[in-house]
Amino acid sequence: MIIKSFFDSIEPSKLDACAEGVAWLQGKLTPLRDAKISIMTHAFLYGTAVHEGIRGYRGDDERQVFIFRLNEHCDRLRRNCRVLRIDLPPAERVAEAIIDVVRANQIHSDCYIRAVAYKSGLQIGLRLSKVDDLAIFALPQDRFHATPKPLSVCISSWRRVQDNAIPPRAKINGAYVNSVLAMTDAAENGFDDAVLLSEDGHVSEGTGMNLFLRRNGRVITPPCYENILEGITRDTIIHLLDEELGISVESRPIDRTELYAADEVFFSGTGMEVVSVGAVDRRPVGDGTHELAERVRALYFDVARGKSERYAKWLAPVHAARKST
C-alpha cells in the first residue's frame, strides 16, 4: 500500500497506477510491486543510505519531459556515497538508469524521481560492509504547491543535525529523522513547516528546503557551514538572481530575529520549488508582498520547462524528440 499522505499531490485514483510502475533495483528495471528489500537490510536497520529527490518537468511539446539538473544530482549522489563508502556505478550510468525508469513508466507529465544508494547487506552490526545497491522509482506528480500560498512556519525546537554528527550535506537517509520530527511537530502545532536553527542559534534551513531572505535591498542565504544541504535549487537561484536580475546573493550567518525583520523570506528545493514564507512564529513577514520570490519562481519554471535556451544545459530530455514533418 502506498501511504497517501506522503504523496499529497497524487490523486488517490492514480496511486494504484503508481504501484503498477517500474523501478530500478539490483542493476535492472523491475516491476515496482516486486522491488522489495529484506527487513534485515543494513539501510533499513540503521538508515545507511543516501538519496536524491529529482524532478522532471513537461516541456512545451506535450510528450517531452526534462529532468532538471540530472548531472548535478548524480554528481551529488556520487560524492555523498563517499561519506558512507557506498560503491556506486559511474555517474553517467546512474543518469541513464534514472532516464530509463522515467521512460519505462511512460511518464509524459511532471514527475518526481527518488534515487537511493544504500547498504544492501543483510547485516546486524554497525560496521559498514561492502554490499551496496541503487534503487530508483519515479512518480507522475503535480507540483507540491500547485497554487503556492505563502507558508506559515515556526522556528523548530529541534536543532539541525551537525556535520560532525550526521552530515546534512550528505543527504543521509537516517538524518531525515531530524526533519521528520521538526515537520511533524510544526504540523501538529498548526504550522505549514519549520525552520531549523544550528546548535549555535543561526538559521540553517527548512525541513526539506533551503532558505533565502530579502532585507534592506540585500538577498541573503545561510552559508554551507550552517549545516545545510547544499541544494541544487539554491544553486540554481543564486545563478538566476545573478545572471538574470543582476542581484548577488550574500551567503552569511542569519540570526533568528532577522527572519522576523525580513522584507521577504522564501524556500527553495526540488520538492518545494520556490515558495514564499508569509509568517514566521505568527509574525507576518514584511508587508505581505512577495515580489522577489515571484520573479525567481517565474524564472525557475521558464528554465525548468525548457523555455530558456541559455539554460538548456541543465535539462536532460527523457523521450526521443519528435520528428518535424
Residues that bind ligand PMP (CB under 6 A): 53, 179, 205, 208-210, 229, 231-234, 268-270
Neighbours of 60 (CB within 10 A): 8
**CA distances from residue 167 to 2, 143, 227 in whole angstroms, order as listed:** 29, 28, 7
Quote the least distance from Cβ 230 to ligand PMP, whole Å. 8
For ligand PMP, the closer of residues 168 and 306 by Cβ is 168
Query: Which of 167, 55, 163, 192 has its CA nearest to residue 111?
Result: 55
**Minimum CB distance to ligand PMP smaller for 40 or for 187:** 187
**Shortest distance, position 278 Cβ to ligand PMP, whole Å:** 20
Contact (Cβ atoms closer than 8 angstroms) between residue 14 and residue 140: yes
Residue 208 beta carbon to ligand PMP: minimum distance, rounded to whole angstroms: 4
> What is the spatial distance between Cα 184 and Cα 170, in angstroms, rounded to a whole number?
22
Confirm whether 171 is a catalytic residue.
yes
Q: Considering beta carbons, is residue 121 or 231 the nearer one to ligand PMP?
A: 231
Nearer to ligand PMP, 271 or 317 (CB): 271
Least separation in angstroms between CB 316 and ligand PMP: 16
> Could you tell me where the beta strands, DSSP code E, fall in the chain?
22-25, 28-31, 49-58, 65-68, 111-119, 132-140, 151-159, 193-197, 203-206, 210-215, 218-221, 250-251, 264-269, 273-280, 283-284, 315-317
Q: Quote the least distance from Cβ 234 to ligand PMP, whole Å.
A: 6
> In the numeric block, which cell numbers belong to residue 95?
543518469
Q: Which residue has the cell 525557475?
A: 300
Is 22 in contact with 105 (CB distance < 8 Å)? yes
192-to-23, 213, 243 alpha-carbon distances in Å:
31, 18, 32
Specify the residue, 22 or 74, whose C-beta has the smaller distance to ligand PMP.
Answer: 74
Give me the catalytic one of 171, 307, 313, 323: 171
Which residues carry out catalysis? 171
